[in-house]
Amino acid sequence: MQDLTIIPASNAALPDAPMRLKHWIGGAWVDSADGATSVRFSPAHGVPVSVAAKGGQIEAEAGIAAARAAFDIGAWSRTSGKDRAILLLRVADLIDRDRAAIARQEVLESGKPITQAMAEIEGAADIWRYAAALARTLHGDSHNSLGPDMLGLVLKEPIGVVSLITPWNFPFLIISQKLPFALAAGCTAVVKPSELTPGTTVMLGKLLAEAGLPDGVVNIVLGYGEPVGAVLSSDPRVDMVSFTGSTAVGKRISAAASATLKKVSLELGGKNPQVIFPDADLDQAADAIAFGVYFNAGECCNAGSRIIVHESVAAALVEKITVLSRRVPFGDPLDPRTQVGAIISPEHLAKIDAYVRGAVAAGARLALGGAALDVGGLGAQFYQPTIVTDVRPEMEIAREEVFGPVLSVLTFRTADEAIQLANDAAYGLSAGVWSSDVSTCLDFMRRVRAGTVWTNTWMDGFAELPFGGFKQSGQGRELGRYGLEEFLEVKTVQMRIGQTRGAWVA
């Protein structure tokens, strides 16, 4: 027996009936023209928790048409930054008001623990407030030294109609990393949440309506990647696609968008390394590593899934992580004691397990876990905390995103080797370094190819700080000022001030 900490089924009430979800198009809540729906079952509890309209080409095109018309009419795109900020702040207040209900639906559809969902919704409201502040700072440049009769202006304008396509792992947080910035910029949007977790995006739509957003400024089309996501990525009326999800789908979106040369912003996967030097505080590192790999059951683009530890401290560190791993409560996500909930789907659980089995077959060793976890009263759509040691850099488990509570441990001897291993990945989302020597941290920070670097910490985040990936982890940035700039277009204006321009024709 693995001697793990398991939280069995709690007595928290499950919904009597699933939430009914419709598309939001041009200000109206509508079913699909063909009446199609899809049912989502709670990954932890097995009961139906939402029944969503399943959109097709008709609904995707209707959403785009509504967003295009709203943008071109200017009911939002030509309002003042002040008015946009007032609305975004109202939305943030409404999110706070409904936080418990939103968090609960997020738990029921995604399997994540309730305390974590509550924190995410709170963090999302904070992002809406930050974007509201940015809405009042939009400005371009002026050029007043182009000669006595010329004034140059550089204007920032909303890019236009944006498609926002989101994944299932942080549904409400990720749409909140996109939509308030797009709205602050003056864009209109068509939103497609993951087919696995549509509920909280629809709840957000209701709050936008309550806050007084004009019809058609935001449209929500529910459904699958094919056809809805594909139409949102290729329709000529869309000016930009902002996508968060897997690298494989990101490449498809980029290809689909290329026919009309839309701007594409991509937040994709990661295989994020943490390098632990021998002078690190191993207790703190072990705790952060446990957090980095088990948070959201490892279904996290930022999962610290690849540990590169100096060989002199590897055994001691693995022992500390193993002790902590046994103490992390896995189980019923509706119980407030739970820190790790269910895996999103049986197919994904099988994929996680296949990576672990493949690693063992390739010569790696299991220090802990390595199988599905049966949680009393809930079944086995859970995965044990898993530590895989003796991992070599060429193994699949060292290179590919497992997206489960699975840690791969590699070792190094020299700092150069550590950097080389950290950079030996197709991804470049985030990276971390643990050392008590600031020079070691600075050297690592400068040489690692990743969009975010944490030194002696892991996975902190702030609305003010941009987030995004190098290499195949994406392009563009979310959050911070850069997150707003993504949704802006630049227009150059040259104004003659003098009487007449010199004649070109003699």
Kindly give, in sequence order, each residue whose CB lies less than 8 Å from that of residue 142, ignoring residues fewer than 6 positions away: 151, 152, 153, 154
Residue closer to ligand NAD, measured from CB, 225 or 393: 225
- CA 450/CA 25 separation, integer angstroms: 38
Minimum CB distance to ligand NAD, residue 116 (Å): 14
Q: How far is the CB of 191 from ligand NAD (least distance, A)?
A: 10
Strands 427-428 vs 470-471: parallel, antiparallel or unpaired: antiparallel
**Residue 139 Cβ vs ligand NAD, minimum distance, rounded to whole Å:** 28
DSSP secondary structure, 360-406, as one string: HHTT-EEEE--SEEEETTTEEEEE--EEEES--TTSHHHHS---SSE
> Which stretches of the chain bind ligand NAD, using CB under 6 A?
165-170, 174, 192, 194-195, 224-226, 229-230, 233, 244-246, 249, 252-253, 267-270, 301, 401, 403, 429, 469, 474
Tell which residue, 490, 503, 487, has the closest CA to residue 184: 487
Q: Are strands 28-30 and 273-276 parallel, antiparallel or unpaired?
A: unpaired
Residue 52: is it exposed, middle or buried by C-beta count within 10 angstroms (0-12/13-18/19+)? buried
Judged by beta carbon, residue 211 or residue 230, the one nearer ligand NAD is 230
Q: Is 168 helix (H, G, I), strand (E, B) or coil?
A: coil
**77 or 408: CB nearest ligand NAD:** 408
Which one, 390 or 486, has the nearer CB to ligand NAD?
486
| Cβ nearer to ligand NAD, comparing 50 with 169 | 169
**Least CB distance from residue 348 to ligand NAD, whole Å?**
8
Assess whether 267 carries a catalytic annotation: yes
- The tokens for 298 are 């490892």
CB of 483 to ligand NAD, least distance (A): 11
The CA distance from 112 to 1, in Å, is 25
Among 59, 195, 267, 299, the active-site one is 267
Nearer to ligand NAD, 105 or 244 (CB): 244
- Minimum distance from residue 170 beta carbon to ligand NAD (Å): 6
Say how far apart CA 160 and CA 262 lie, in whole Å: 11
- Among 187, 300, 301, 441, the active-site one is 301
- List b or e across 357-386, with b for residues whose CB sees 16 or more CB atoms inside 10 angstroms: eebeeeebebbbbbebbebeebbebbbbbb
Task: Provide the b/e sequence for 29-47 (b: ≥16 CB within 10 Å).
Answer: bebbeeeebbebbbbbbee
Nearest CB to ligand NAD, comparing residues 164 and 309: 164
What tokens were used for 182? Answer: 């797009």
Minimum Å gap between C-beta 319 and ligand NAD is 29
d(CA 302, CA 273): 10
Asked if 486 is an active-site residue, the reply is no
129: number of Cβ within 10 Å: 18
CA 437 to chain centroid, in Å, comes to: 32
The catalytic site residues sit at: 267, 301
